[in-house]
Amino acid sequence: MTDISTSTQTTSSAQSTLHPLDPLSADEITTTIQIIRKERNLNEHVRFVSVNLHEPPKEVVLKFTSGNPINREAFVVLLDNSDGATYEAVVSVTKEQVVSWHHVPGVQPPIMLDEFFECEQVLKSDPAFQEALRKRGITNFDLLMVDPWSAGHYGGEEESIYRLSRALTWVRTDPNDNGYAHPVEGLIAYVDLNKMKVLRIEDNGVVPLPPEHGNYTPKAVGQMRTDLKTIDIVQPDGPSFTVNGYEVQWQKWRFRVGFTTREGLVLHTVSYEDQGRQRPILYRAALGEMVVPYGDPTITHNRKNAFDIGEYGVGALANSLELGCDCLGSIHYFDAVMTDSRGNLMKIPNAVCMHEEDYGILWKHIDWRTNQTEVRRSRRLVISFIATVGNYEYGYFWYLYQDGTIQFEIKLTGIMNTGAVPPGVKPKYGQLVAPQLNAPVHQHAFNVRLDMMVDGLNNSVYEVNTVAEPMGPENPHGNAFYAESTLLKHELEAQREIEPRTARYWKVVNPSSLNGLGEPVAYKIMPGENTFPFAHPESPVMKRAAFASKHLWVTPYDRRERYPAGEYPNQHPGGAGLPTWTRANRSIENTDVVVWYTLISHHIPRPEDWPVMPAGYIGFMLKPVGFFDRNPALDVPATMSNHHSCEH
Ligand SMILES: [Cu+2]
């Protein structure tokens, strides 16, 4: 962060393993790859899709105390390009041996970053592809941008035979131009990613390239505004958090930072200290899946839907935050380390940013009779990372607040996906954002996996609806309403939707931990902005993204149930993950529960979203409800400002 004077970087994450949940270190990844290569005698056709920590069982983690021996294991996914076979391996780094190795039939692992480049390269030099581009007046193939869109599953034969990309193309006017302003409409390239061979080029007819540039650099913008004065975030005493390896302590909060190639940032063992007791809230929290179904039925766009977690992996696509000014203040960065598909170490320095933010007023009251004033400023701890998935940027932010609130927020920015329309055409399923440039309507559906641990592992989930009392003798003025809690006992009755008309929320309760008022302690899931999916329930995308058909799912904890659309959504026909697991209708009462919350960002594009989108926000909160006996932030001291106390 050499380019911002107001930011200071504290020491980067320690590499030595201190805890069973620490992400694999560079050495551990290298060792894992060496062990597999040696034991399995791999040839050059076998690719490393991902190497991540094989998280130990909960009992091991929860019983762990510093200094205990740790058995470090890696979970590895491999793809053999010669026959398309997928393998999963567990490798003990500690014992230096492959613990398990098995073939997973009929699946496609995520599209690897290396395949992005290779797919683009092979198409640029393909004669049929070149011919289709020449028809459009494009002759400089170096300026092409080919995005390897996942093929989905639409019942075609080639989907079951090949590792398939349905690649779409844009073209720059010069090497630094924003190519997304110039979509090559109607041209779809089918590529076998195993053989890295073009299967066929589908040309649905020439549509002229939109003529205007969509550049947004200072050079392209020209005159910049000149009335912006410096704003400094100054923390002369440093940050209020301490970091030990991947463990973070911030005021009363304690948690561990994790990172996977698929999910990116993971929060582990989040707890809050209350009267000398460290009280657990979450065992693990991470974004489990996301999908972007597009609403345009025309040929180039009707199969656009990207499962950015399961089909690509947002951890592997994480930004290095040293390339910019993403965070301000006293920052602690965590690096991410992973492997490329050939087994070479790939390091993302500063992948996770952690810093504090002033967040307005925490609480206030003036006793207007005596003028006694008490006001406290709120501060939040921000733990975030940003992933660039093709044209879009997604910022994933966790916030911890002093009153026990946890918030998850996604910031959507970057460049919208685009298509071209002929001059004079006004698209029905999109918005013209520049002449002849169509930004199709779409949604971004996210599902967050919350492995809850409210004061312990055994929790129950209630739905809370507010009910208006009918008018009658007990409600003569019609003003009465009350909150009604309903226990969700089994999985099928816990597949729920938002309902603003009853101010619906859900709460995760520990029935055997009572607060000072004699009621079971709880955390509630408070929906924020949200909506429903618009793709038909029987559409190929919704069959695969069934998780998005409900806003709430609850399952009893099973170590193997990790991702809401299943382990391998790429080219999957659908039904995997939550819809399959919950068919058993297992009991979810007073047991170790996992809550899955879906939030859908509805994107009807605006001209103002072009050429690069001002960040859109969507999220939700976890708030204590009777977890504490009263406002837990009374002990936050008043702020010293300009060397004067604000206290009167
Ligand atoms: Cu969008």
Residue 274: CB atoms within 10 Å: 17
Q: How far is the CA of 416 from the centre of ligand 1 (A)?
A: 6
Q: Which of 1-5, 403-407, 447-451 has the lowest mean pLDDT?
A: 1-5
Q: What is the pLDDT of residue 648?
A: 39
How far apart CA 563 and CA 572 sit, in angstroms, is 14
Beta bridge partners of 601: 444
Q: What is the pLDDT of residue 325?
A: 78
At residue 14 the predicted structure's pLDDT band, cuts being 50, 70 and 90, is: very low
Q: How far is the CA of 303 from the centre of ligand 1 (A)?
A: 16
DSSP assignment of 621-641 equals EEEESSSSSS-TTTTPPPPEE
Task: Evaluate the omega torsion of the peptide bond into residue 624 and state whether it is cis, within 30 degrees of 0.
Answer: no
Query: In angstroms, how far is the first alpha carbon of the chain from the final one?
Result: 39
Q: How far is the CA of 304 from the centre of ligand 1 (A)?
A: 13
Q: How far is the CA of 212 from the centre of ligand 1 (A)?
A: 21
pLDDT in tens, 182-224: 999 999 999 999 999 999 999 999 999 999 999 999 999 999 9
pTM of the model: 0.95
Beta bridge partners of 647: none
Q: What is the pLDDT of residue 67?
A: 86
Identified catalytic residue from 177, 203, 296, 308: 308
Is residue 246's pLDDT more than 80? Answer: yes
Is residue 328's pLDDT more than 90? Answer: no
Q: What is the pLDDT of residue 3?
A: 35
Q: How far is the CA of 610 from the centre of ligand 1 (A)?
A: 11
Nearest C-alpha neighbor of 272 from the set 450, 401, 358, 451: 401
Question: Cα angle vertex 58, ends 55, 64, to 5°?
Answer: 90
Q: How far is the CA of 533 from the centre of ligand 1 (A)?
A: 14
* 340 catalytic residue (yes or no): no
Q: How far is the CA of 568 from the centre of ligand 1 (A)?
A: 24
At residue 9 the predicted structure's pLDDT band, cuts being 50, 70 and 90, is: low
How far apart CA 302 and CA 435 sit, in angstroms, is 22
Is residue 607's pLDDT more than 90? Answer: yes
* 237 catalytic residue (yes or no): no
Mean pLDDT of the chain: 95
Strand ordering across the sheet containing 85-92: 46-53, 73-80, 85-92, 97-104
Beta bridge partners of 473: none
Give the ranges where 406-523 is alpha helix by DSSP (H): none
Q: What is the pLDDT of residue 509?
A: 98
Q: What is the pLDDT of residue 12?
A: 47
Q: How far is the CA of 442 from the centre of ligand 1 (A)?
A: 6
pLDDT in tens, 155-173: 988 998 999 999 999 999 9
Nearest C-alpha neighbor of 337 from the set 399, 412, 259, 396: 259
Which SS3 state, helix, strand or coil, does residue 431 take?
strand
DSSP 8-state assignment for residue 111: P
Q: How far is the CA of 384 from the centre of ligand 1 (A)?
A: 20
Tokens of 217: 């650099």
At residue 27 the predicted structure's pLDDT band, cuts being 50, 70 and 90, is: very high
Q: How far is the CA of 292 from the centre of ligand 1 (A)?
A: 8
Range 490-501 average pLDDT: 98
Range 124-134 average pLDDT: 98
Q: How far is the CA of 355 from the centre of ligand 1 (A)?
A: 27
Q: Which of 43-57, 553-567, 629-643 has the lowest mean pLDDT?
A: 629-643
Tokens of 584: 């058993």
Q: What is the pLDDT of residue 13?
A: 45
DSSP 8-state assignment for residue 294: B
Is residue 71's pLDDT more than 70? Answer: yes
Q: What is the pLDDT of residue 1?
A: 32
Q: How far is the CA of 607 from the centre of ligand 1 (A)?
A: 13
Q: What is the pLDDT of residue 45?
A: 96
How far apart CA 253 and CA 266 sit, in angstroms, is 16
How far apart CA 188 and CA 525 sit, in angstroms, is 42
Contacts 24+ apart (CB under 8 A), 319-324: 319/348, 319/351, 319/385, 319/386, 319/387, 319/388, 319/393, 320/348, 320/349, 320/350, 320/351, 321/350, 321/351, 321/352, 321/353, 321/385, 321/386, 322/1, 322/349, 322/350
Which SS3 state, helix, strand or coil, does residue 494 take?
helix
At residue 326 the predicted structure's pLDDT band, cuts being 50, 70 and 90, is: confident
Q: What is the pLDDT of residue 4?
A: 36
Q: How far is the CA of 603 from the centre of ligand 1 (A)?
A: 5
Q: What is the pLDDT of residue 646?
A: 47
Share of the chain above pLDDT 70, in %: 96
Share of the chain above pLDDT 90, in %: 92
Question: By the 8 A CB rule, do 385 and 397 touch?
Answer: no
Element holding 60 (H helix, E strand): helix 58-63
Q: How far is the CA of 325 from the centre of ligand 1 (A)?
A: 23
Q: How far is the CA of 472 from the centre of ligand 1 (A)?
A: 48
Identified catalytic residue from 87, 180, 333, 392: 392
